[in-house]
């Protein structure tokens, strides 16, 4: 969809310094993706370098097109990616061109302070800290830490749910009306509209099962702005629940409410009613996703297991995913493992680098959990189990991991043979 952009704050989006900052942010996101999980790391690295080499050229083109045409057109390519790295379950994601991602990131930097004031800080944890932000740090770690502190010694009942197909069911007209009233700048609202109504191309591999979107529904998953828009979209819902005295914690479309059993039952009814009547949304019908958790039961939320006494651990599903990744990293190479008593020489450094990078990231992302020696020994068990399945010894890999980094948790090194 093409829109003619008027004069206003949008000129700040296309300011060269703003675009340079946005370029760096997008490139860093690509580097993070490379460290996390990409199918072809070498090709991904070459693509990053190519973008870096063409930085000035791309920024010049973005500015020239804005100044010369005044018309903005977005096109998104919809494909599917695993919901979690290495997983089999998939979700749709919208991919914009690199230059479009720069524009959207610059727009995010401009609208952030204008939209952030609408966020309910005691409820919503689906935003992140920006310079000049009004609210304290948000995010998954802060959400689960706060819930674990609340559970400690209180004996709360818990209502847990997530919103079915949330991003796909967001009412674009309602969202744009919200944005118009908050931003008070037609040029910014118009660029948001251009993103929401971007022309769509579907991955041919999934053409048969690509969803047919309603004309006025859906926010592109994968766009830099989408999490912030989704967060502010439900701010009136957050305020309503808070004003009714409920202790609610929301991360995008996942939420939990703590209270007495009666309060949790009442909260469930109110959630269902408001989401349906005001937003046309439904809580998930799957009983594993929408349920009541007893005071003596562990809560599984956002990849974490939160115990009644407040102890915080990676969830069983998260630990299984780590075990599977370790096994795949060690055993996923085609080589005659039976001929030697260690890792194949040609692949040894590759295995060590990939394994150390992944595990350091895992320990870092979960550093807010209550780790014990037993927990670290469990991770070492994933490694020894994978090696044993191939008839391999631990000694060479253990030495390689120790040398790979100085950032290992001491308890992990103690658990290594």
Q: Is 41's pLDDT higher than 50?
A: yes
Q: Can you give the pTM of this predicted structure?
A: 0.85
Task: For residue 415, give the nearest of 382, 388, 380, 386 by alpha carbon.
Answer: 380
More confident residue, 157 or 194: 157
Cα torsion 50, 69, 201, 284: sign: positive
Confidence (pLDDT) at 4? 41
Dist. CA 149–CA 94, nearest whole Å? 37
Q: What is the DSSP letter of 274?
A: H
Dist. CA 295–CA 89, nearest whole Å? 31
pLDDT digits (tens, 9 = 90+) for 178-207: 988 888 888 888 888 889 998 888 877 765
Distance of CA 3 to the CA centre of its chain: 30
Q: The tokens of 396 are what?
A: 């060479």
Within the chain, what is the greatest distance between any pair of CA atoms? 70
Min mean pLDDT across 74-88, 98-112, 260-274, 352-366 is at 74-88
Q: Is 99's pLDDT higher than 90?
A: yes
Confidence (pLDDT) at 210? 52
Min mean pLDDT across 148-157, 229-238, 243-252 is at 229-238
Helices (H), 117-204: 140-151, 166-169, 172-183, 186-196
Min mean pLDDT across 17-21, 63-67, 111-115, 391-395 is at 391-395
CA geometry: angle at 290 spanning 285 and 292, to 5°? 140
Residues 6+ apart with CB under 8 A from 337: 344, 390, 391, 392
Dist. CA 236–CA 119, nearest whole Å? 9
All structural domains of the chain: 1-104+171-217 (no CATH), 117-166+224-312 (3.30.70.270), 315-415 (no CATH)
Confidence (pLDDT) at 346? 43
Going by DSSP bridges, is the β-strand pair 299-301/304-306 parallel, antiparallel, or unpaired?
A: antiparallel
Confidence (pLDDT) at 238? 95
Q: Is 136's pLDDT higher than 90?
A: no
Q: How confident is the model at residue 277 (pLDDT cuts 50, 70, 90)?
A: very high
DSSP labels, 164-178: TTHHHH-BHHHHHHH
Q: The tokens of 283 are what?
A: 């809580």
Mean of pLDDT values over 207-228: 74
Q: How confident is the model at residue 340 (pLDDT cuts 50, 70, 90)?
A: very low
pLDDT digits (tens, 9 = 90+) for 234-265: 999 999 999 999 999 999 999 999 999 999 99
Q: Is 309 exposed, middle or buried (0-12, 13-18, 19+ CB in 10 A)?
A: exposed
């Amino acid at each position: 969809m093409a829109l003619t952009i008027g004069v206003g704050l949008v000129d700040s989006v296309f300011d060269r310094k703003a675009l340079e900052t946005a370029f760096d942010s997008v490139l860093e996101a690509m580097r993070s993706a490379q460290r996390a999980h990409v199918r072809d790391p070498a090709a991904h690295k070459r693509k990053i370098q190519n973008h870096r080499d063409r930085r000035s050229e791309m920024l010049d083109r973005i500015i020239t097109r804005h100044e010369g045409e005044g018309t903005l057109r977005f096109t998104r390519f919809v494909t599917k990616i695993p919901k979690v790295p290495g997983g089999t379950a998939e979700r749709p994601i919208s991919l914009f061109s690199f230059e479009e991602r720069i524009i959207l990131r610059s727009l995010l930097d401009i609208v952030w302070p204008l939209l952030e004031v609408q966020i309910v800080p005691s409820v919503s944890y689906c935003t992140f800290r920006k310079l000049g932000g009004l609210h304290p740090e948000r995010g998954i770690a802060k959400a689960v830490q706060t819930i674990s502190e609340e559970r400690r010694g209180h004996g709360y009942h818990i209502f847990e749910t997530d919103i079915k197909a949330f991003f796909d069911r967001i009412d674009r007209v309602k969202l744009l009306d919200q944005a118009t009233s908050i931003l008070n700048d037609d040029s910014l609202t118009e660029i948001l509209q251009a993103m929401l109504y971007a022309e769509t191309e579907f991955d041919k591999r999934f053409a048969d099962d690509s969803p047919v979107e309603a004309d006025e529904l859906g926010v592109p998953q994968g766009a830099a702005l989408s999490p912030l828009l989704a967060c502010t979209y439900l701010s009136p819902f957050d305020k309503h629940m808070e004003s009714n005295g409920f202790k609610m914690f929301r991360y995008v479309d996942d939420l939990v409410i703590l209270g007495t059993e009666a309060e949790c039952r009442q909260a469930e009814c109110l959630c269902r009613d408001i989401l349906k009547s005001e937003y046309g949304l439904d809580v998930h019908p799957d009983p594993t996703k929408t349920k009541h958790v007893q005071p003596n039961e562990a809560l599984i939320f956002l990849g974490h297991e939160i115990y009644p006494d407040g102890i915080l651990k990676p969830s069983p599903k998260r630990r299984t995913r780590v075990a599977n990744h370790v096994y795949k990293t060690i055993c996923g190479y085609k080589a005659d493992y039976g001929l030697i008593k260690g890792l194949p020489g040609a692949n040894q450094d590759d295995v060590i680098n990939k394994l150390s990078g992944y595990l350091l990231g895992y320990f870092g992302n979960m550093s807010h959990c209550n780790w014990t020696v037993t927990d670290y020994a469990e991770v070492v068990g994933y490694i020894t189990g994978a090696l044993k399945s191939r008839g391999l010894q631990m000694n060479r890999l253990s030495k390689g991991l120790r040398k790979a980094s100085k950032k290992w948790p001491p308890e992990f090194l103690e658990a290594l043979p």
